[in-house]
Amino acid sequence: MDKFIVANWKMNNDFSDIPVFVDYLKENASGEKNMIVCVPSVMVKTFADTATGIAEAGAENCYYLEKGAYTGEISPQMVKSAGATTVLVGHSERRQLFGETNELLNKKVLAALDAGLKVIYCIGETLEEKPNYQEVLRKELVEGLANVKSFENLIVAYEPIWAIGTGKVATIEDIDEIHTFVKETISSNFGANVPILYGGSVKPSNSGEILSLDSVGGVLIGGASLKAEDYVKIVKSRG
């Protein structure tokens, strides 16, 4: 299976960037599989419609309930009906800036899987937590993935928080060691084997080496995913 190349636009780019981005993909990456572009929720439908047959659309977040008086929230069913295949759950910015806990994220994971979405569940440690990364990641995995019945649509993204948007990348040895730990933790707690993406200052100049690791099932890219040229270079670097 082709490794996943997942873009996370965060609160960047706008509607006018969508056709430019997709046209570039059409011309330079047609036929490539497992390209997922997570965009701000208002843009999901436009991205999905524009990129049909070229790339998959994803949302960057969703709530865990289907409907009701939750002003400003969007349900997994809404994400799905907008044409997205995928949703990010538990990105470190959601955890750190918006106080999302493992307990809340677990509800989101279960609801999004139930709605038929692929879930990219994000985990990672801060610089202070780095010496104890095993404890931090184990807790995020065990609590965040509790009660998941089928792991078929589950992807995990390991993103060291100290490497996101900072230009700092974990060493290739660290990435291999931690991905192996994450795989073993998921296998021993849930008996499942899921792709583990790496995220944190991935760019065209380092993606080839990261993607060459067997323990890496793909990459999650913030800054370098905003321009289609860089995104496509990363797609091509998976070899």
Name the site residues for ligand PEP (rule: CB under 6 A).
8, 159, 164-165, 199-202, 220-224
Q: Which residues are within 8 A (CB) of 225 and not within 5 positions of it... i.e. 6 or more apart?
A: 6, 7, 8, 9, 37, 231, 234
Per the residue annotation, which of 93, 100, 125, 159 is the catalytic one? 159
CB of 231 to ligand PEP, least distance (A): 11
Contact 120, 157 (CB under 8 A): yes
Contact 149, 207 (CB under 8 A): no
Which amino acid type is present at position 115? A
- Assess whether 91 carries a catalytic annotation: yes
Per the residue annotation, which of 91, 93, 125, 179 is the catalytic one? 91
Burial of 125 (0-12, 13-18, 19+ CB in 10 A): buried
Residue closer to ligand PEP, measured from CB, 146 or 176:
176
CB of 137 to ligand PEP, least distance (A): 16
DSSP 203-239: -HHHHHHHHTSTT--EEEESGGGSSHHHHHHHHHTT-
Nearest to 58 by CA among 233, 221, 239: 221
CB of 142 to ligand PEP, least distance (A): 22
- Locus of tokens 């793909």: 218
Residue closer to ligand PEP, measured from CB, 13 or 201:
201
Residue closer to ligand PEP, measured from CB, 57 or 221:
221
- Assess whether 66 carries a catalytic annotation: no
CB of 222 to ligand PEP, least distance (A): 2
Residue closer to ligand PEP, measured from CB, 90 or 199:
199
Please list the active-site residues.
Answer: 91, 159
